Amino acid sequence: MKISAHRGRHDADHPGHRDRLARGPRWRPGRLGRHALGPRLVLLVGLCLGHLSGARAQDIEPRAYANAPIGINFLIGGYAWTRGALATDTAAPVTAAQFTTSSAALGYVRVLDLGGQSAKFDVILPYTWLSGSAEYAGEPIERLVDGLGDPRLRLSVNLYGAPALTLKEFAKYHQDLIVGASLQVSVPLGQYDNSRVVNLGTNRWFFKPEIGVSKALGPWTLELAGAVTLFTDNPDFFNGRTRSQEPLYSLQGHLIYAFRSGIWSSFDATYFTGGRSTLEDRLNDDLQRNWRLGASLSMPLDIRNSIKLYASSGVAARTGNNFDLLGIAWQYRWGGGL
C-alpha cells in the first residue's frame, strides 16, 4: 500500500521564520545613504523559517514581535532538513513514521503602521521533498514524494512598546517591554489526493491566534509566546471520510543575546499539547504532549542581506515528534528609505 508524504514544511522554527530590525552594531555615518541613523542602530534578522509542520505548534521562532521601521520589505529564501520520528498527520492511521525531508520556502514580509503601532504581514510558500517509511494497519509502507504544501498568511501587531517609526526615527528607539499578537492562517492549496493516507496539503484550514511578550535587559532579550491552533474539518480524508481535530496549544520561550557586531544568538524551547483527532465518530489516541529545544544564530552580511542558521531536536514526545532539524535562511531587505 502506498501513501503520500506529510507536508513536512520548514520554518522555522520555521518556515518560519519573518525578519526583524533591532538595535546593535555601530554603522559609520552615511552608510545608510541619505539617512544617517546614529551609532546604535542595527539591522537584525528575526525570521525563523523553522519546521513548517502541519500543526505549526512546534515552530520555534525568536524575535517574532521585535519592532522594525515601517515600510521595510523582506524577501526570504530558506532550506531545512529533518530526520527521525517526524509526525505526518496525527489524524492519519500511520505509526512508526521515519522520514527524511528537505524543504524549501519562499517568504515575503512587510512592516506596516496600524493605528500608530508597528505591524507586519507575511506570507510563506513551502515546497518539500520527502522519503521514508511508516506502518499502516500494521503493514510496512514506503513513500518518496515532492510537491507544494499549504501556503500560510499572518498579520502580527505590536500592541505595546513598539510604536510605528520611520527608518530615521527608529535610530533613537530602544526596546523595553513589547506586547504583541498575531493571527496566522493556513490556506488549503497544497497537493492533495484523497486516495492517499498522508498528503503534502491538508484539505483544511487552520487559524492560529498568538500573543507574545518580549523584554530587553541590556544585550539580553527574554521572550515568551502562547498560541492555540484551530482546525476546520477535512470532509474528504482517505476515500471520503471526515477528519476532525481538537485545538492544539503551544508555548515557546527564547533567551536571546545581541552582540555589538550585529550578530545575535538564541536558545529556544517549545511545548505543545492537545490536538486529539477524530476519524468519523472514533476518537483517536493521539493526544500530543511534546517538547522541543533549539538554537539560532543570525549574521548580517551587509546593510541589505543577512543569513540565519537554526537547529532543533525533540527531547520528549508522546506522538512521535522526536525529529532533528537543521536549517538556513537568507533574507534581503529594501524600502522604507533604506
Tell me the pLDDT tens digit for each residue of 2-25. 333 333 333 333 333 333 333 333
The percent of residues above 70 in pLDDT, for the chain, comes to 76
Predicted pLDDT at 86: 56
Residue 112 located in a structural domain: yes
d(CA 117, CA 147): 38
Q: Is the pLDDT of residue 28 over 50?
A: no
Residue 157 and residue 180 in contact, taking contact as beta carbons nearer than 8 Å: yes
Segment holding 231, helix H or strand E: strand 220-231
Q: Is the pLDDT of residue 315 over 90?
A: no
Q: Is the pLDDT of residue 338 over 80?
A: no
Residue 2 located in a structural domain: no
Give residue 276's identity as a one-letter amino acid code.
Answer: R
Residue 243 located in a structural domain: yes
Q: What is the pTM of this model?
A: 0.81
Residue 229 located in a structural domain: yes
User: Whole domain around residue 223: which residue ranges?
Assistant: 22-36+43-334
Q: Is the pLDDT of residue 173 over 90?
A: yes
Q: Tell the residue number behind the cell numbers 530602544, with chain if given.
A: 174
Higher pLDDT, 8 or 246: 246
Q: Is the pLDDT of residue 39 over 60?
A: no
Q: Is the pLDDT of residue 179 over 80?
A: yes
Residue 97 located in a structural domain: yes
Residue 5 located in a structural domain: no
Q: CB neighbours (10 Å) of residue 35?
A: 18
22: cell is: 533591532
Determine which of 25-34, 160-169, 244-253, 295-304 has the lowest per-residue pLDDT on average: 25-34
Closest CA to 180 of 19, 66, 258, 272: 66
Determine which of 20-29, 79-88, 281-290 has the lowest per-residue pLDDT on average: 20-29
Higher pLDDT, 207 or 316: 207
Predicted pLDDT at 289: 87
d(CA 13, CA 49): 6
How buried is 177 (Cβ within 10 angstroms: 0-12 exposed, 13-18 middle, 19+ buried)? Answer: exposed
SS3 328: strand
Where on the phi/psi map is residue 323: left (φ > 0), alpha (ψ -120 to 50), or beta? Answer: beta
What's the average model confidence in pLDDT over 176-181?
98
How buried is 41 (Cβ within 10 angstroms: 0-12 exposed, 13-18 middle, 19+ buried)? Answer: buried
Q: What CATH number did the domain enclosing 120 receive? A: 2.40.128.130
Predicted pLDDT at 93: 56
Closest CA to 47 of 83, 72, 82, 81: 72
147: cell is: 510537491
Predicted pLDDT at 201: 85
SS3 29: coil
Residue 153 and residue 161 in contact, taking contact as beta carbons nearer than 8 Å: no
Structural domains counted in the chain: 1
What's the average model confidence in pLDDT over 183-208?
89
Q: Is the pLDDT of residue 327 over 80?
A: yes
Residue 212 located in a structural domain: yes
Beta bridge partners of 235: none
Compute the mean pLDDT over every residue in the chain, rounded to the nearest whole number: 80
